[in-house]
Every structure is written in C-alpha cells, then in structure tokens.
A and B are shown apart, each in its own frame.
Chain A
Amino acid sequence: DVKVTQSSRYLVKRTGEKVFLECVQDMDHENMFWYRQDPGLGLRLIYFSYDVKMKEKGDIPEGYSVSREKKERFSLILESASTNQTSMYLCASSPPGRRNYGYTFGSGTRLTVV
C-alpha cells in the first residue's frame, strides 16, 4: 500500500525554536507538497517541490523553508517558530506528468507553538 508518512502526529514547540517537520513517501513520486490547514481558512500551500533539490513557493511561504535532498523526503522547516504557526500540517505527493492522478496525503502533524 502506497504511503506518505509524516514523522510526528503531534508536536509542541516553544516560540523561537527551529522546527523540522519530516515527510517521506515510498511511491517514487517526483512532486511533493506542504500544506497547512486552519479552521475557516481551509488548506493553504506553503511550498512544493517537483524534483530533488528543487522547490517553489506556494501561497504562504513566509516563515518557512524546505529541503529536498532525496526524492523520497521533503522537510518543512520553521526557522523560528511563532504562535501563529500553530496549525495542522499536511504533506502530499503525486507522480509527474500525471497531474490528474490526484494527491496522496500523509496523516498530518498537529503543531502547537507555545
């Protein structure tokens, strides 16, 4: 069964900490995405990557960075966590050139910044 795995289900971090959210997929997908989900705001795209070492800003990249050193792994980095980054973070992947395939999502990481 194909999978997107997010390393943590729940995280609590302090303001100012550097936070790493990890996502691994076992489907050999080129495309990977990071979203955040907030009540009333829906899903918003933070960053995406269509190849190793490639990244593109999404709609709300401020305060975040990403790393894609290996095809299967896409990391989201909060350089200095703030309380307004408390949210549910969802990772997704999809194969290339088959944009109609749809995304496979991970189970999400609920991050609380205190």
Chain B
Amino acid sequence: AQSVTQLDSHVSVSEGTPVLLRCNYSSSYSPSLFWYVQHPNKGLQLLLKYTSAATLVKGINGFEAEFKKSETSFHLTKPSAHMSDAAEYFCVVLVGAGGFKTIFGAGTRLFVKA
C-alpha cells in the first residue's frame, strides 16, 4: 500500500540555522515526490519535485530534497532558516499509472525563532 509519513508534526529552529523536515514514503510503483509549502490562510505552493531524474532536487527559496530509494526517504532541507520560512510543509507522493492517486502527508509546521 502506498503511504507517506512526515515524521515530525512540529519543528522549531532558530533563524540562520539549518532546517530538516523528514518524509518517508511507501510505494509499489516508482513514485513522484513533491514538497509543498502553505503559509497561513493560503493555498499550497509547490517547492520542489522529484520525478526520477537527479536524486538531489533543488527548489525555490533555497530548499532542496534528496531522494533516497534505499531509505524510502525524501527529506527537505535548507542550510539557513529565514523568518519567512515559518509555514506548514507537506510531503506528497503521486502514484499510479494515471497519476491521480495523490497522497498527502499530515504536514510539518515549521517555527522559526528570531
């Protein structure tokens, strides 16, 4: 069965320190993986995506994620947090031949302290 697990519901970092948001997936197919960000009372914005090309994916706002098949992980990182990064982050796996089976993680809320 396909699933996606975000290992932390909340992460708190200080401004200027690294960010790590963890995501593990389970898929019978070769997955497509995404990270989205949602700021308060806004829709979701695509940060980055993995689609079976390079395993290290760079996204917007300095974020990147590495696809590790052996660990079934797709963790999101950023070298230096900014106050504007405070938001909720969703890991998403897209499975199935038609691409309509989309599984959202429960979300990780990132807090950034000054």
Contacts and interface: CB of A to CB of B under 8 A. Distances in A.
Nearest to A88: B41
Contacts of A20: none
A108 B51 contact: no
Interface in B81-113: 90, 94, 98-100, 102, 104-107
Interface string A16-27: 000000000000
Contacts of B98: 99
Contact of B104 (A9, A42, A100): A42
B23 to A, nearest CB: 13
Contacts of B42: 107-108
A13 to B, nearest CB: 19
Given A45-B102, A56-B100, A99 B41 contact: no
A56 B45 CA distance: 24
By size class, the interface of chain B is 20 to 34
Interface in B14-54: 32, 34, 36, 41-46, 49, 51
A101 B94 CA distance: 10
A48 B104 contact: no
A50 B94 CA distance: 16
13 contacts: A43-B104, A50-B100, A90-B43, A90-B44, A92-B44, A99-B32, A101-B49, A102-B49, A105-B36, A105-B43, A108-B41, A108-B42, A110-B41
Given A90-B44, A100-B94, A108-B43, 9 more contacts: A9-B41, A42-B106, A56-B100, A92-B44, A99-B98, A100-B51, A103-B44, A105-B36, A108-B42
